[in-house]
C-alpha cells in the first residue's frame, strides 16, 4: 500500500509505476483505492463510474478497468457530494453526515471489493488518500490504515519534497500514527525532487534508521502526459501555439483531462472574466450544469460566447458545455434558458448515463472514427432539424445506432468525453481552423498513455530501490 503525507504528493503515479514494475516481472496486478474524491472520472468495463487515477493504474497493469478497483467515488457538489458506489449513484451526502453515518457499511463493502481483486491477482497495489495521520477523522477514515490493517498490507509513505518540509512530513506522519499502525510502515519515498540529490546527504537514511524503516529513494520531478486525479493545469498560465483557445474555467469543471491535447498544441487561455477573442471557444463539462450556467451569465460570459460565435470563432461544448449552448435546461424544479446556439433542450433525469462510446464524427466531413465515454444525467433532445455531431455505433461493447450532439456551422456540442484524444480528429479540426486563417497545416503533438506510463516507470526503476520493495511481497 502507498500512503501519502498529504494530498497531492504523487501517490497515484507512484502506484502506477509500481503496478507497471510488478507487471513487468510477470505478475498479475490490480490497483485499488477504496474511496476517491474527484470530478475526473472514467467508465469501467461494467459501465460504471470510477476515478481516473485507478483507470490509469489499470492500464499500467494491463488489466480491464473495473469498479472494484475504486468501489467508492465522491463527486463534490455545492453542498456535499454525490456518492458513487461500485460505479452507480448511491445517494447524496454532506461531509459530516457521510463521515458519521455510512463509514462502517462502506468500509465493509470496500474490503470485499479488495479481497475479490486479491483472489484473482498475484498482487494488489493499494493507494491511500490524503494523509493517514488526520487525527480529527482517523476513527472514520476508511481509505488508509484501516484498509492496510484489513489485509495486512505493508505501507510505503510518499512525501512531496518539491513543497519543502519533506523530512517533517515523514516525521510528523509517523509520530501521529497509533502504535499498532506504525508497524505497517516499512519505508518511504521522496517524490518530485528537482536539483542535486547529493544535497540530501545521508539524512534520508538517518531518518529511516530512527524509525527502523527503509528509505527507498528519491523520485525526480518529471513532466509527463499521464492524466492525473487532480488537475495538473496551471490555470494562470497560457499555452503556446499558432491557434488561440479560450477555455472557460467553470467553478465545477469536470474531466479536465479532456483538453490536454489542446494544451499541447494551442495557446489555451483559461477564462473566468473578460473578453473572448480565441479562434476556438470551449465550454467544458461540469458537475453542476445549471449553477455554472448561471455563473456564466452573472459574469457576462454567455454574451461573450455568443459574440464570439457571431464573429466566426469555433464554439465547442462538451457534456455540460453542450447542454449550456442549447435552448433550455430543466431539472424538474428549475427551467433555465441556455445560450440558444444550437436547437437542443436538456432535461435532467434520475438515471445517470455512464457508457464507453465508439462511432464516427460528422463535423469535419471526413467521417473520422472516434471513441470516448459519457457520464451525465441530462437527456438532450433536438427541437428542429437533426444535424448530429456524431453517430454512435457501439455502447459498452455492444452495437448501437443513434445520433450524438449537434452541429451548426462552426458550433458543435457533444457528450463525447475524451474527444480530443482522438488525435486524427483533433489534427483535422485544428487544421480546419488553420486553413481558414491562412496558416500552414501542422501535425499535432500526440501522446500514448502506455508509452508515458513506461517512461515514468523507467525513471522510477532507475531511481528507487525496487529490489527492496519487492521483498515486501
Catalytic residue positions, numbered = 319, 417
| CB proximity list for 5: less than 8 A, separation 6 or greater | 131, 133, 157, 158, 159, 160, 166, 169, 170, 172, 173
Beta strands 2-4; 390-395: pairing state: unpaired
Are 186 and 213 in contact, with CB atoms under 8 Å apart? Answer: yes
Number of Cα atoms under 13 Å in the Cβ half of residue 28: 8
Q: What distance in Å separates the CA atoms of residue 390 and residue 369, rounded to the nearest whole number?
A: 9
Measured between alpha carbons, how far is 376 from 352 in angstroms, rounded to an integer? 6
Phi-psi region of 439 (alpha: psi -120 to 50; beta: other; left: phi over 0): beta
| Nearest-5° Cα angle at 168, 167 to 171 | 90
Angle at CA of residue 270, ends 266 and 274, nearest 5°: 120
Q: Which three cell numbers stand for residue 176?
A: 501521529
Rg of the chain over Cα atoms, rounded to whole angstroms, equals 23
Amino acid at each position: 500500500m502507498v500512503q501519502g503525507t498529504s494530498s497531492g504528493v504523487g501517490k497515484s503515479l507512484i502506484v502506477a509505476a509500481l503496478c507497471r514494475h510488478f507487471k513487468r516481472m510477470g505478475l498479475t496486478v490490480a490497483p485499488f483505492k477504496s474511496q476517491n474524491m474527484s470530478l475526473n472520472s472514467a467508465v469501467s468495463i461494467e459501465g460504471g463510474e470510477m476515478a481516473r487515477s485507478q483507470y490509469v493504474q489499470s492500464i499500467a497493469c494491463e488489466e480491464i478497468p473495473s469498479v472494484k478497483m475504486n468501489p467508492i467515488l465522491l463527486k463534490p457538489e455545492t453542498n456535499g457530494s454525490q456518492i458513487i458506489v461500485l460505479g452507480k449513484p448511491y445517494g447524496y451526502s454532506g461531509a459530516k453526515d457521510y463521515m458519521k453515518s455510512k463509514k462502517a457499511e462502506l468500509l465493509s463493502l470496500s474490503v470485499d471489493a479488495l479481497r475479490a481483486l486479491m483472489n484473482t491477482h498475484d498482487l494488489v497495489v493499494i493507494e491511500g488518500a490524503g494523509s493517514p495521520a488526520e487525527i480529527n477523522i482517523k476513527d472514520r477514515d476508511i481509505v488508509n490504515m484501516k484498509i492496510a490493517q484489513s489485509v495486512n498490507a505493508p505501507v510505503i509513505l510518499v512525501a512531496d519534497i518539491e513543497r519543502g518540509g519533506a523530512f517533517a512530513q515523514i516525521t510528523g506522519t509517523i509520530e501521529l500514527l497509533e502504535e499498532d499502525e506504525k508497524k505497517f510502515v516499512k519505508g518511504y519515498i521522496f517524490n518530485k525532487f528537482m536539483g542535486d540529490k547529493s544535497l540530501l546527504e545521508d539524512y534520508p537514511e538517518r531518518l529511516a534508521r530512527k524509525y527502523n524503516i527503509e528509505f527507498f529513494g528519491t523520485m525526480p520531478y518529471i513532466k509527463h502526459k499521464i492524466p492525473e486525479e487532480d488537475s495538473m493545469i496551471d490555470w494562470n498560465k497560457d499555452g503556446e501555439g499558432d491557434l488561440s483557445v479560450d477555455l472557460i474555467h467553470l467553478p465545477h469543471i469536470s474531466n479536465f483531462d479532456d483538453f490536454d491535447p489542446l494544451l499541447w498544441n494551442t495557446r489555451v487561455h483559461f477564462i473566468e472574466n473578460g473578453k473572448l477573442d480565441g479562434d476556438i471557444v470551449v465550454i467544458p463539462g461540469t458537475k453542476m450544469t445549471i449553477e455554472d450556467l448561471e455563473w456564466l451569465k452573472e459574469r457576462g460570459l454567455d454574451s461573450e460566447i455568443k459574440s464570439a460565435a457571431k464573429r466566426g470563432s469555433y464554439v465547442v461544448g462538451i457534456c455540460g458545455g453542450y447542454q449550456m449552448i442549447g435552448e433550455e435546461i430543466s431539472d424538474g424544479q428549475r427551467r433555465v434558458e441556455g445560450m440558444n446556439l444550437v436547437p437542443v433542450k436538456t432535461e435532467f433525469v434520475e438515471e445517470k448515463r455512464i457508457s464507453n462510446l465508439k462511432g464516427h464524427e460528422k463535423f469535419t466531413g471526413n467521417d473520422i472514427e472516434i471513441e470516448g465515454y459519457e457520464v451525465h444525467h441530462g437527456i438532450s433532445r433536438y427541437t428542429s432539424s437533426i444535424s448530429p455531431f456524431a453517430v454512435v455505433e457501439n455502447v459498452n461493447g455492444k452495437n448501437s445506432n443513434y445520433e450524438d450532439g449537434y452541429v451548426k456551422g462552426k458550433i458543435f456540442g457533444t457528450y463525447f468525453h475524451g474527444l480530443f484524444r482522438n488525435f486524427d480528429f483533433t489534427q483535422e479540426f485544428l487544421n480546419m481552423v488553420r486553413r481558414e486563417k491562412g496558416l500552414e497545416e501542422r501535425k499535432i503533438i500526440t501522446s500514448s498513455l502506455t508509452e508515458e506510463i513506461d517512461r515514468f516507470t523507467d525513471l522510477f526503476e532507475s531511481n528507487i530501490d525496487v529490489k527492496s520493495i519487492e521483498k515486501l511481497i
